[in-house]
Every structure is written in C-alpha cells, then in structure tokens.
Amino acid sequence: MNGQDYHFVDKKTFEAMIEQQQFLEHAKVFDHLYGTSKAAAEMLNNEGKHVILDIDWQGARQVKESKKDVVSVFIMPPSLEALENRLKARGQDSQQVIERRMQDARDEMSHYTEYDHVIVNDDFDHSLHKLETIIDNA
C-alpha cells in the first residue's frame, strides 16, 4: 500500500533520489525500479529493530558493500521445476510472464554463493524455523 509498505514515485523522482544517495540499495527488477530508503532503515535500526529486506542480488550486493554488519540470506526453491509449478499454481501470470520470471530466477540463483546463508524452501515451516534461527543469532 502506498505510504505504508511502499512509497511510489515517478521515474524522474526516483532517479533524482539515486543521485542524492537516498537509497541503501536500489535495482531494476522485472522492468520496475525498487529502492530501500536509507533514512527509513536507519530509523528502524536506531529503534533497535531488525531491518529485513526482501531484495534481489543487485540490492544485496550494494547493502553488503556499504554495511559490513549485515547478514544475508538467500531463499532458494527446491528446484527450477518446483518454482515453475508454484508460479503456474498461483494462476496470476501468463505463460510468457512465467517464462520471463524463470529466466530471471536462473540469473538470481546464480548469485547464491554471495550470501552468508542459503535456505532451500522445500518445506515452509522448516524454512521459516531456519530463518528465525538466523535472525535470532544475528
């Protein structure tokens, strides 16, 4: 929701924000620009809260370069076939969109070695427990 989970701006404003270094990370994903506000992340961190980012490898790389105390986690599907089946089962995307997402997923997955932890999401509850353990130990 705009103003709560996301803050939407036009492309010109977004590019100006990049120039002004207002993002902790930013990337183009699935033809859309995304970024994480430095100010918002710092505010949460100053409140003693964990800041958890759901970002692609490009953003993760930027964060790790600028913040040395981060812990990164790559959540991987059990297989490409399982991922494709999940995307089809959602019933939200055309076959063309699914094919594009699969190609992008292959690219994304090729960067898993850059992360501190890898979780294979074959069982949600088990994967969630692993993630909670990593966060608790951070």
Residue 109 has pLDDT above 80, yes or no: yes
Q: Which two tokens stand for residue 97?
A: 């969109």
CB 73 within 8 A of CB 119: yes
Residue 122, pLDDT score? 94
Helices (H), the chain: 11-19, 38-46, 57-66, 80-90, 95-109, 124-136
The model's pTM is 0.81
Alpha-carbon span 43 to 117, nearest angstrom: 26
Handedness of CA 94, 36, 26, 63 (dihedral sign): negative
Residue 29, pLDDT score? 74
Mean pLDDT, residues 8-18: 94
How sure is the predictor about 31, in pLDDT bands with cuts at 50, 70 and 90? Answer: confident
Could you give all domains of the chain from N- to C-terminal order, each with its CATH number? 1-52 (3.30.63.10), 71-138 (3.40.50.300)
Model pLDDT for residues 53-107, shown as the tens digit of each residue = 999 898 999 999 988 889 999 999 999 999 999 999 999 999 999 999 999 999 9
Mean pLDDT, residues 108-131: 96
How sure is the predictor about 3, in pLDDT bands with cuts at 50, 70 and 90? Answer: low
Question: One-letter amino acid identity for 56?
Answer: D
Model pLDDT for residues 117-126, shown as the tens digit of each residue = 999 999 999 9
